[in-house]
Each structure stands twice: as C-alpha cells, then as structure tokens.
Chain A
C-alpha cells in the first residue's frame, strides 16, 4: 500500500514534510524494480538542489539509477546508515530507508506532486 502521508514524483521518489524539513526516499515499486541495492552515492551536506535536480545515484546488482529532488532545497541530512546497510531501502523504503533531508523547502511545492492515489494509478497503468 502506498502511504497517504506523503507525495510522489514521476521518477518514483517520495517526499514527506517533517519538522519543516522534507524527507526524501524511493518508493516500494522502485526498490522492487531495482532489486538488491548495493550502494547509494549520497550528496554532500549543504548542497543546494533545484526541483528535479539530480542528487545521487542508487546502485543495485543490475542497474545504476539517478535520484531526483522532488522539491528544491538544501541538503541538511543524509542517511549514513545506508553506507553500511544499503539494503535498508529494500526492507523499509518508506521508513528506515529514507535517503536525504532537505531544508528551506517551499511546502506549497509539494502540492504539485502526485498523491498516493495518482502514483498508484501511474504504476498500475505501467504494469
């Protein structure tokens, strides 16, 4: 089930507002398509991203995929646990598998993104 408490991009990232900051990760559909995740190339703290900007690469045994910022902001935290345990993304993509946090985001920007229902219909149509 696609969580209702957050928004989604066409490129399979999710974004959720927490304490005024935007937490970003990838969806369950994305982690399953990628397969066993082996490495996440995380951005440096303090980097400024525009909405849609590429902020990292996620590697699995069979692919290397770019990660795109759902909204603009400044990288205020990265999930260091992913360095040793990248499989967190496979196990818990919406929780412990979070990837980065952005500060200085425009909360209104989230409303332009897909909600859970839109995202689900998108991935169902694709199937």
Chain B
C-alpha cells in the first residue's frame, strides 16, 4: 500500500458527500469552550531544514566512543544478517498472532525463540518474552508469591540496582516484603542469606554474573532454599550461559534475564528483551504469551498461542500479571542472532569476552593507583578502584573518546572511587591498550 495524501479536490468531494463545505464543520459537535484556541507550534520546516535540525541534534551525541560500559547492557557485535532478516516486511509488520491461521510464520519464529531460551537456561518452558530483564525479574517474583502463597522476597545485593529500583516501583502498593542481603567481597553471602530465610519467604533472587561482574555457583543456595520451601530466581547474562553452569543445571526454579546482548542494539535504553524460563511445575503461573506446537484437524503441524487462561484478559484478577504482550521483534532478533552463531559461535563469543577481560585486568594491574578487585572470579566485567572520583574520571576519559565504564558512586555513594568495566568481543587488543594508556595518563594528572 503506497501512501499518497488526499488532494484538495478529493477533500472537497468528501465534504460535499457529507453535506459540508469546511473541514472545521466536522468538529462542530465539540463544545467551543473545550476546543483549543491556538496551537503553540512554530512554522513548518522544509525537508532540508528538518534534516539540518535533526543533524544538529545528533551532533550532540557521543556516538563513537570506545565502549567499556556494561552493568547489564553490553556492546556486542550484531551481524548484518540480523537486520536483513528481521526487517523483512513479513516479520517487521506482523501483528499479534491471535489468529493462528494467518500467523504461522510469526508463531513458529516465537516457538523457536522459546526453544532457544530453554536450551540456554537449561529449563523446561520459556514464554514468548517480556519487556526487559527487570520486568522479567518482577514477574518471576510474582510467580513465586502465587506459587508458594508467601509474600516475602530475599534479594541478593549483587542484583542490578536498576532492577532493584524496578522491583520497589512495581510493588510499591502491594503487600510484598523485601529483604536485601549485601554481597561480601563481591559474592553472595551464604551465611547471611541463609540466616535471613524463614517460612514466609517465597523466593531468593540471585544474579549470575552479578552486577559487579562476579560469577558464582549457587547450587548450594538452591538446595538450602528448597529445603525451606523457598523458590530460587536467578537473573542471568545470556552470553555467559555459553560457558557458565546454567540455571537448570543447579536446580533454579525461574531464570530471567536481559536479552539485549543477543543481537539488539543498545539504543540509549531500549527497546530491550526480557526472557523468562521455568520448570513445568510452574508453567501455569508464568505470565505473558506462550506459543505451543500442535497439529490441525488435517494432521499438519501448526503453532498457536496456548495456555491462554493464564493471561489477564481471561484470568482477570486471578492472573499473576497484567502483561499480555511480548517483544516480538526483539525476540526475533535474538532468535536470528543465536541461529547465526550456533552453539559453537556463542561459545566463541563468550570465550573472547572472557579472554579480553582478563587481558584488560592484566594491563590495568600495572597502572599505579589502580586496584583490580580480584577476590572473586569474573566473566567479562570487573570492578576497579582508583584514588579519584570515578564520576570525574569518566568525564575526562570521554574527552579522549573512551567510555571507560560505569562509575559505581552513581548507585552506591560509598563506592565513589569504584568503576565497573566491561569488555566484549568487539574490543580489540589495541583499544584495550589505548584505554590502559589513557587511564594511566588521566590518573597521573
């Protein structure tokens, strides 16, 4: 369908057919006292002027910094095929697949995405995706609350502080109690976490790797929680799942996470991709859309939205969530990305991230004044401590075209001299070396 504006003659014809002469007459039913008197709009711009205005705006972005920022959202390489395949109009313009008879393509793609999430997490069922990792974490908490009938959630201090804020916001008017247990030396504090468990605890929420980049094997915590009837929710980094123990392997009940690293650009905050996977026991508590595979009445394979009685448009106030949508296009990008890379490719990306981060740590350790926090193992992200405020340091390094990391004072005031540095497969040895040199120079000044 091409878009061609109506001509004046066509408009006049349409008005005539309505028995009117002016466009304003169409709005005659709206009382004069609630009609706008004026619109505070500047004059119209030409196409050239619009482009100039937008161009000037975009010049204010720092679009070419060498990016070492992480904190849950990472600068990974996106193969051109991801854009090419997902921008096909059959995918790009497809609507919600409520009518399976005209949506088999979309439904099959989502079903395959769900299968990939199950394989990545080692769990049995995945939904069709949620808005982002934070929303997914909140939904997992609600699942645990509904499944156990308890209303207390213990949150490990290694959870992303942005997610922590989201949990507080979502639950502000609900009777849910949170307890946060700080990490020790960057890792989950077993003694304090287990001491905090009680018979009212619906779930313990963990993150791996955690916000400080630290990796851990939580299987002992999972066992202890299950002994008390408490579920375990683990928020995970999908690239890391290629090399770490999966949530399924250690007995986690619900795995959630941010899928942005799987072929979705950073885009200054979104759109992103929340994934959620769980065991069969909990499938009826799972929110959001779920695609199933079945056969039609002629015995042919077909895909449909299934178990819809979970969703709020049917279950209403008994539903665990009001979400009745997914991030179809982002989920498709993740699906295409994972299909392109395959198991080995994803493993290669993870290995490169880890190796390059280790190289960065080694270079930084040689810089006077820099302390690399090494009390706990890390994947591709680690924390460093410097003698200056890292908020200022970031500003100085941005002027040298490097985005050096996340200044932790922004989230934890007592950590003003700490910075979180992330290294992905995109960072070359040269870029890491340059960062080390600029960091040394900035600290000398």
Contacts and interface: CB of A to CB of B under 8 A. Distances in A.
Interface of A: 38-39, 41, 57, 59-64, 66
A61 B308 contact: yes
Contact of A38 (B309, B315, B316, B318): B309
B284 A63 contact: no
Contacts of B316: 64
Contact of A61 (B284, B309, B318): B309
A56 B314 CA distance: 16
A39 B308 contact: no
A68 B309 CA distance: 19
Interface in B301-322: 307-309, 314-316, 318
Contacts of B314: 62-64
Given A41-B284, A61-B308, 7 more contacts: A39-B309, A60-B309, A61-B309, A62-B309, A63-B314, A64-B309, A64-B318
Contacts of B315: 64
- Which of B309, B314, B315 has most chain A Cβ within 10 Å? B309
20 contacts: A38-B307, A38-B309, A39-B284, A39-B309, A41-B284, A57-B318, A59-B309, A60-B309, A61-B308, A61-B309, A62-B309, A62-B314, A63-B309, A63-B314, A64-B309, A64-B314, A64-B315, A64-B316, A64-B318, A66-B318
A57 B309 CA distance: 11
Contacts of A39: 284, 309
A32 to B, nearest CB: 17
Nearest to B306: A38
Nearest to B315: A64
Nearest to A63: B314
B441 to A, nearest CB: 64
A64 B315 CA distance: 5
Q: Which of A38, A61, A62, A64 has the most CB of B within 10 A?
A: A64
Contacts of A64: 309, 314-316, 318
A39 B285 CA distance: 13
For the complex of A and B, 10 pairs with smallest distance between CB atoms? A59-B309, A64-B315, A64-B309, A64-B318, A64-B314, A63-B314, A38-B309, A62-B314, A57-B318, A39-B309
Contacts of A61: 308-309
Interface of A is mostly: strand
A115 B309 CA distance: 32
B273 to A, nearest CB: 28
Contacts of A57: 318
Contacts of B307: 38
A33 to B, nearest CB: 14
A57 B307 CA distance: 14
Contacts of B318: 57, 64, 66
Interface in B298-348: 307-309, 314-316, 318
A93 to B, nearest CB: 19
A59 B310 CA distance: 9
A57 B146 CA distance: 14
A11 to B, nearest CB: 15
B316 to A, nearest CB: 8
A61 B315 CA distance: 11
Interface in B4-22: none
A63 B315 CA distance: 7
A7 to B, nearest CB: 27
Nearest to B318: A64
Nearest to B311: A64
Nearest to B309: A59
A78 B192 CA distance: 41
Contacts of A62: 309, 314
Interface string B395-435: 00000000000000000000000000000000000000000
Contacts of A41: 284
Contacts of A59: 309
Interface string B183-201: 0000000000000000000
Contacts of B284: 39, 41
Nearest to A65: B318
A39 B314 CA distance: 14
A28 to B, nearest CB: 21
A59 B314 CA distance: 10
A64 B314 CA distance: 7
B391 to A, nearest CB: 51
Contacts of B308: 61
A62 B316 CA distance: 12
A41 B310 CA distance: 12
Interface in B54-96: none
B235 to A, nearest CB: 28
A63 B307 CA distance: 11
A86 B315 CA distance: 18
B317 to A, nearest CB: 10
Contacts of A38: 307, 309
B80 to A, nearest CB: 43
A66 B316 CA distance: 12
A61 B311 CA distance: 11
A50 B314 CA distance: 27
Nearest to A66: B318
A70 B378 CA distance: 59
